[in-house]
A and B are shown apart, each in its own frame.
Chain A
């Protein structure tokens, strides 16, 4: 039997959690938001979600096959991207647009940069940004059960003068217009709470992000702040599921707090002063770009060293 002994470097045991398991938990945690979205916004949401997932998975598989790389769709990260992309568009959007967004997210944003772990922008958000630029009308037409209506943020912004604000309870439960996965703060908090409980994300990014927005908007005296402010639009989804993307957010605790504060600040400024009613996506995309430098500046202190060597 001696010949059969395998010789390798320690450690010889590994934890149970691998990339695929992490992604599976993220998918499970995203499920409630999708179910509530489909319930309030109509069953067409399900088609959009399917289009998002299928286009992302297929794009990744075909790309990797074509590039003669190992096909890694079984790590489920493409499913997560597809889900998030679908959650960030209105349920009425033509499906081919979703497919374009998915292909763009996977190929240009993820694989041009080297695949999982290497991209600098969140693929789903970058895909959404591309779609918003190409098809601004389709991307901002909201309906609740077939009746088109204004989103709370557009009302707050004053761009939609005919609209009225929904009740806080409707905003919290998800009975409002918006993107598929954004509407129900409650469902997102349940899913996000699960991720925190399972130690997959830390509380820092979502909590700091949301609190920053709430505080700044209250200080600015926005109507409906802080509750309507945080329960409407993409803040909840962005804070729990997109700003926490491992690849594009800082690794250190200190870095995560800086990152989340930056997201909160930028999102608030866009919502209050910018040209768009919503600023969550752009705030995260902008902060994604600062992640490498935040990581460098917040390197942990090496045990026994007196000074932080990160400031080199």
Chain B
């Protein structure tokens, strides 16, 4: 039997077993919580609280008028200790609200439980989603209410649930599907309520049979009109473009959004939040993070309040057993390496990965031997070796002409390259170079 998939791609070592069988553990630390004002793609928020204010769980502490944005909520109750710049998990310096927790977790959300969503007008559901601070939980952190408001001329025909989790090591989505499938399918039903003509398709990679079974049971028990579609295991199956191609056999044109081809892609965790926000009035104040890697003592999946420091998360997983050379936010293929672990987890943090020098080896580049492996692994159909070469010659126009702007930075080319070339990094530089040139000529 051959399961559906996309063209090209790679098979990195999965390393999922470190955390795949560990049930989600709740972690409620005390002390200081840090909330960067930008935890999503789009306009950053401005603080709406002052130093010294008392805040409650779910209370808005940052917001903006901009449409493509999502409010920041406090995940604890306590006192605003400071509003200042701090380093974030991606290594940037941003404005942050810092709250000293009182350990009470006193609830202060303005959302009200609505119970049955079927009587709610779809526009109200979308409004609740914004107020709840929901953004794409897969890592792209695109504000979900924006996704739910496509241009009126674009008909949504598919709602694709992304339960693929193709990054090695990570299991937060897998565990959520296995342990709490109800809110996921409930969230899908709310989306189908907003887009009544759309078909629901739940995509899960075939390496998660328990999740497939559990989600399938939930779908049939609830009588949800969606189908579970197992996908062949291949990286980067979870990338939006590859997922849409696998499910609908349509290729998103360069620069277009999924709505262009009638698709809405929602991460399982995002749906979970939608359900809790609409029916129970619970906004986004926590997330599940896979804390794993070869130098973590007890790799596990931890549900913690947003704003918790990475250091506290690592301590909660037993600390280090050896010297990590790299600590990543996210998975090993697309994750960002952190400069410091005294940074807070944010809405887009799916994993904290501590790797030893052996697991995250650094290599010396050698000449490209023209083996073609990068070409036959690039899911975007690019010629990475060519992009790598032209970027190093600073020929950005050539980079653009060769389609370089389509690069999704999945890392397949660098992963596979026997000459150990840093091709993905070249592509990033190339994209930045093209953008800079565009700005100059604009």
Contacts and interface: CB of A to CB of B under 8 A. Distances in A.
Given A1-B323, A13-B415, A252 B424 contact: no
B254 A115 contact: no
Contact of A19 (B340, B362, B369): B369
Contacts of B82: none
B297 interface: no
Contacts of A312: 401
A305 B403 contact: yes
A8 B241 contact: no
B351 to A, nearest CB: 12
B338 A5 contact: yes
Nearest to A11: B411
Instruction: Tell me what chain B mostly uses at the interface: helix, strand, loop, or mixed.
Output: loop
Nearest to A247: B370
B328 interface: yes
A120 to B, nearest CB: 11
B434 to A, nearest CB: 15
Nearest to A201: B371
Contacts of A117: 367-370, 419
Nearest to B340: A2
A300 interface: yes
A22 interface: yes
Interface in A213-270: 246-247, 250-253
B332 A302 contact: no
Nearest to A17: B418
B335 interface: yes
Contacts of A114: 367
Interface string A268-312: 000000000000000000000000000000011111111001001
A14 to B, nearest CB: 6
A13 B422 contact: no
B359 interface: yes
Interface in B247-265: 251-254, 256
B431 to A, nearest CB: 12
A77 B370 CA distance: 13
Contact of A300 (B245, B253, B254, B375): B375
Contact of A5 (B326, B359, B366): B326
A18 B245 CA distance: 31
B128 interface: no
18 contacts: A2-B339, A2-B342, A5-B340, A5-B341, A6-B325, A6-B337, A6-B360, A10-B336, A11-B333, A11-B411, A13-B13, A14-B363, A17-B418, A18-B363, A72-B366, A304-B241, A305-B403, A312-B401
Given A10-B332, A117-B370, A301-B381, 8 more contacts: A5-B327, A12-B337, A14-B361, A246-B369, A246-B370, A252-B372, A302-B403, A303-B245
